[in-house]
Structure 1
Amino acid sequence: MELSSTPPSNIDPAALRARFTALPQNSDPADQVQLARINLGRQLYFDKRLSRESNQSCNSCHQLTNYGVDNKQYSPGSMPGAIDTPRNTPTVYNAAFQLSQFWDGRAVNLIAQAHGPLVAPKEMALHNLQEAVDIVARVPGYAPEFRQAFPGQQDPVNIENITASIAAFEQGLITPSPWDRYLQGDTAALTPAQKKGLKLYLADGCDTCHAGRDMGGISYQRLGDVYRWGNKSDPGREKVTHSATDFMFFKVPTLRNIAKTGPYFHDGSVPTLTDAIHLMADFQAGQTISDSDAASIAAFLGSMTGTLPASYIAAPAEPPSGSQSAGQSEGNKTSSIRESSGGRS
């Protein structure tokens, strides 16, 4: 892409649309069944009873009022002392636009992803997925919501419908930003400093990996492509594919809301965005960039900080429990078998 010699000047949004796509606006679906699933998914997303100690929900780590993260290097789990190492919690916002879920891409979509944390020992720590079904089934207020969301099913309270509802809600977690307005033709949406950063972003080749609708999340890349990354204790995608050629490959993270979602990288080892930019230029592109250029790129990345959908993410009233608590479930009494797909990251 040819760049203007005047840093603050505009790059034609039409030309940018060859590499980038604006986010859609979120709106309630006209289909009332789908709307019921979204509303049910919102309830489940915030429900802490879906954890071993009834103290953790999806929102505990993927905090929706905090751009979908908790800003910790590693997130604590339901059980005392449980810390979800060695991976940092990724944001849930705009995740529906990515090619897969988790840093290593082991879940093909949001529905598959929703299974994992429920039974991950360092996360919500239920004994098995049936325990999640049992917990939900003991909450009287959920029964009519499941019937409305899954009409015609004789027994709609099942794990497939639980995870499908959570995924339906997560699909609406979209954060349009000034960057999207620029792509749509509003050249005043970015400040002069952000436009300068955009030019550097393109000139330095950041868009080789961070492009598309989600500014990332569309490919797997080796961390340390030019120079070897120091910490190689996490093999990345190799754990999924069992292929040595995937060692240290990770899903490229989204850059949307990146100014709000530190610390950075799969291990949360880098606290600041400008440090992350320097490291990426060095290890991925073999370039050394100045502090000034890193700050300019960071300014551009700030244009991707979107507007949180306040009404959509408002925590709903929790359906009242039945007579038996989650900690007294038959699943807790009778089974210590864990599903193996777990993990938030």
Structure 2
Amino acid sequence: MRNRRQRLLAVLCACLLLLSGVGAGAASAAGAPTTADDTETNAAPQVQQTDEADNGTDGLPVEPPTRAHPGYEYIERENDTEAKIELGKQLYLDPRISQTGTISCNTCHNVMDPGGHDGRPTAMGVHGQTGPVNSPTVWNSGFHHTQFWDGRADTLAEQAQGPLVADVEMGMPDTGAVLERLRSMDGYVEAYQEVYGDQADVENPEDIITLERTVDAIAAYERTLVTPNSPYDQYVQGDADALSEQQLDGMETFEELGCTSCHSGPMFSGQWDEPESGNGVYQPNPTYPNNEQCSEYVDEYGLMENPGRMGVTDDSADQYLYKVPTLRNVEYTAPYTHTGNVRTLEEMIRLMGACQLNEDLSDEEVQDIRAFLTSLSGEHPEQEMPMLPGPSGESVIPADSGVNPSETGGQATEMQEAESTEMQDTEMQDDGSGGIIEDTPGFTMGLTVVALAVALATALIARTRRFE
């Protein structure tokens, strides 16, 4: 597995071809990325510069592709005090700032889960409504240049504003309604005063509790959600035994195939230096839609049903472009890709080989790469559920908060309508022996016929007796 001269030669040839796309790659890095074209001529991925590994790697059996995780200190901000982080944590975990009082930031980006997400194909918000794309992991999100799959937010604070008022997420009518709820709870007023009291009139809740401070606190907490000291990090820092032979083979294969052209840097996302800069790193998915295997994946997983970054920029050149996701803790973040339809890591590796590298990967290559990717799972910071501030003498959730939007003139989602139909068509009946049988439309019709027959017979008997 170590001596891959033929593969290396192929990669060198590919690199020569990629040189013709350097100009387009530079434009992409500057904010005008190339798109997934139906032809393979212009579909070469943007080559990201791979930063050098930490010093002290000369004695390692295989040269690592990048440095170790830089840790929380790299993104920590001077004014991210313990009090602000704790306030941000309360806000992050509080479902009462959603319209129904049921959805928090943590609902979709679960810090009690090693994947830092909800494990669903797409997130479910208030009233069971679902969004269009898979929820990204919150772990290490503070290292990203932009947020969301389409990069529509530059910073963590800006990202936190969107879900609050999104009708398929937390569903608040406007940000003013969010602030009104927070201001109604004395505990939050006191917490904001402690953190931001030197910046405003502490006697007036409307002055101390603002949207800017709310998302600032949430962002401060999210920056602490880092996962360093993975086996890969230990290896880069000089522990030659931290990775298994298969993981080392996978790391070589990962590099030789060209995976690091997109998944570079210590976050394996192409973005980490100058975090929250707004200079997003995007790639088309798929890059090779005409690859025979990729075309099957496109149909099976709906890869080209979402416009990608074009939905933000309204530029056709950005169609099907998405932010390069981190591979940190990727073994825990299934289901995969922006559609959330790929169920296993092995399948995702095959999909990336076909659609992004134009390669039909062997079973051995898939298993080796999978083994390497598991080495990127780090140590999660301990999380304890905080006590949330209580309401000030009355409920902060309106009595009609549980009303479905379809009952108030809104539109139910297709999934809601399908689930409603399924519930109507499929009822649970007692089978008479303590078990449960599933009722079907045919079974229901049969019961109806029997009931009508019995009713008719009863009526005839009664009529006969009347004439006797």
The TM-score bracket by the shorter chain reads 0.7 to 0.9
One-letter amino acid of the structure 1 residue matched with residue 389 of structure 2 = P
Q: 1:102 to 1:30 in 2, by over 3 A?
A: closer
1:5: which partner in 2?
A: 3
Match of residue 276, structure 1, among 343, 348, 355: 348
Match of residue 104, structure 2, among 57, 72, 93: 57
Asked if structure 1 preserves the Cα contact closer than 8 Å seen for 2:192 and 2:209, the reply is yes
Q: 1:30 to 1:62 in 2, by over 3 A?
A: closer
TM-superposed deviation, 1:259: 0.3
User: Which has the larger displacement, 196-205 or 183-192?
Assistant: 183-192
Q: 1:150 to 1:49 in 2, by over 3 A?
A: same
Of structures 1 and 2, the larger Rg is shown by 2
2:387: which partner in 1?
A: 317
| In 2, Cα distance between equivalents of 1:248 and 1:324 | 48
TM-superposed deviation, 1:145: 1.1
1:339: which partner in 2?
A: none
Asked if structure 1 preserves the Cα contact closer than 8 Å seen for 2:70 and 2:266, the reply is no
2:285: which partner in 1?
A: 223
| In 2, Cα distance between equivalents of 1:288 and 1:251 | 24
Match of residue 198, structure 1, among 241, 251, 255: 251
Asked if structure 2 preserves the Cα contact closer than 8 Å seen for 1:50 and 1:326, the reply is no
| In 2, Cα distance between equivalents of 1:288 and 1:121 | 41
1:169-318 to 2 correspondences below 5 Å: 169-176=221-228, 177-216=230-269, 218=271, 219-228=281-290, 229-230=298-299, 231=302, 232-310=304-382, 313-318=383-388
Asked if structure 2 preserves the Cα contact closer than 8 Å seen for 1:238 and 1:244, the reply is yes
Match of residue 22, structure 1, among 65, 68, 72: 68
Work out the number of aligned pairs and report it: 322
| In 2, Cα distance between equivalents of 1:244 and 1:216 | 24
Q: Deviations over 1:286-306 (max 9, x none)?
A: 111111210110110000111
TM-score, with structure 2 as normaliser = 0.65
Asked if structure 1 preserves the Cα contact closer than 8 Å seen for 2:64 and 2:251, the reply is no
Q: Deviations over 1:132-182 (max 9, x none)?
A: 111111111111211121131222211000000000000010001111222
TM-superposed deviation, 1:32: 7.5
Q: 1:64 to 1:123 in 2, by over 3 A?
A: same
Write 1 or 2 for the structure with the bigger share of helix: 2
Equivalent position SS for 1:73: coil
Equivalent position SS for 1:200: helix
One-letter amino acid of the structure 2 residue matched with residue 208 of structure 1 = S
| In 2, Cα distance between equivalents of 1:13 and 1:136 | 51
TM-score, with structure 1 as normaliser = 0.87
RMSD: 2.6
Asked if structure 2 preserves the Cα contact closer than 8 Å seen for 1:227 and 1:286, the reply is no
One-letter amino acid of the structure 2 residue matched with residue 76 of structure 1 = M
Asked if structure 2 preserves the Cα contact closer than 8 Å seen for 1:217 and 1:251, the reply is no
TM-superposed deviation, 1:227: 2.3
Unaligned 5+ residue runs, structure 2? 5-52, 202-206, 272-280, 291-297, 402-407, 409-468
1:89-238 to 2 correspondences below 5 Å: 89-152=135-198, 153-154=200-201, 155-176=207-228, 177-216=230-269, 218=271, 219-228=281-290, 229-230=298-299, 231=302, 232-238=304-310
TM-superposed deviation, 1:31: 5.9
Q: Deviations over 1:73-118 (max 9, x none)?
A: 1121122x3122x200110100111110000000001010000111
| In 2, Cα distance between equivalents of 1:32 and 1:217 | 27
Q: 1:25 to 1:326 in 2, by over 3 A?
A: same
Unaligned 5+ residue runs, structure 1? 337-345
Asked if structure 2 preserves the Cα contact closer than 8 Å seen for 1:29 and 1:35, the reply is no
Mapped pair 1:75 → 2:123: yes
TM-superposed deviation, 1:29: 7.1
Asked if structure 2 preserves the Cα contact closer than 8 Å seen for 1:23 and 1:174, the reply is no
